[in-house]
Amino acid sequence: MDFENSPLKVKDGNDILTISYDDVVKYHGHSMIGGVALAYKIMLWGFPKLTDEIPERGYFSFLSGIGLGGQGVIDATEMVMRVRSKGALDLDLSKVQDKPAPPTPGGKGRYYFELGYKDKILCLAVKDGIVPKDFYYYSELPAQRRAAGEPMSDEDLAGLRRVRHELADAIMNNAPDDLLKVIEIKTKKEDN
């Protein structure tokens, strides 16, 4: 299967939408393209684990262990599943601190996610070693420069862009099984 070019399909009312990775990149842009690629791969891998049918907007939920800093993940999940506009996007980092997943740059979050559809939740994490050390270095650099009262240099900005694109390419050029691990599949608790 060609994972990079496999489009996602979702129902939106009576319509079936086909959304490619390139469509999601056009929606988000290139600023946090690694997050776009990661969310796309999570959805591509996760939808078939949660349902045998084309999933329908309005029945999804998504917990991102990256939090508000993961704008690429936020935009990708919103475009495809409409989780933010439907009030089903959870960015609470306190929920992921004890999860078995690599830390995000800065150490506040984790590369842990919960993709929910109807009564099932797929809990998954990025495998150790997938996110390269250069990505951590350049992702933490803007905060370090601000704290020191220094601007990012052109070299710093080019390095940050480079590692974000390299991460996106690595994600899109690998099978989901090589990138992600299932922690568990659980059933949603009914709200009473």
- Which pLDDT belongs to residue 156? 96
- Which pLDDT belongs to residue 95? 96
- Which pLDDT belongs to residue 1? 44
Q: Which fold has domain 8-181?
A: 60s Ribosomal Protein L30; Chain: A; (3.30.1330)
- Which pLDDT belongs to residue 5? 58
Residue 5 contacts residue 22 (beta carbons within 8 Å):
no
The whole-number average pLDDT for the span 59-85 is 96
Structure tokens, 41: 């791969």
- Which pLDDT belongs to residue 192? 38
Q: Which residues pair with 90 in a beta bridge?
A: 63
Residue 25 contacts residue 36 (beta carbons within 8 Å):
yes
- Which pLDDT belongs to residue 60? 98
- Which pLDDT belongs to residue 28? 96
pLDDT, tens digit (0-9, with 9 covering 90-100), for 179-192: 999 999 999 874 43
Structure tokens, 137: 């270095």
Least confident interval from 61-65, 101-105, 129-133, 188-192: 188-192
The rounded Cα 66 to chain-centroid distance in angstroms is 8
Grouping H, G, I as helix, E, B as strand and the rest as coil, residue 97 is: coil
Residue 16 contacts residue 149 (beta carbons within 8 Å):
no
The whole-number average pLDDT for the span 123-134 is 95
pLDDT, tens digit (0-9, with 9 covering 90-100), for 131-187: 999 999 999 999 999 999 999 999 999 999 999 999 999 999 999 999 999 999 999
Dihedral sign for Cα 145, 132, 76, 172, please: positive
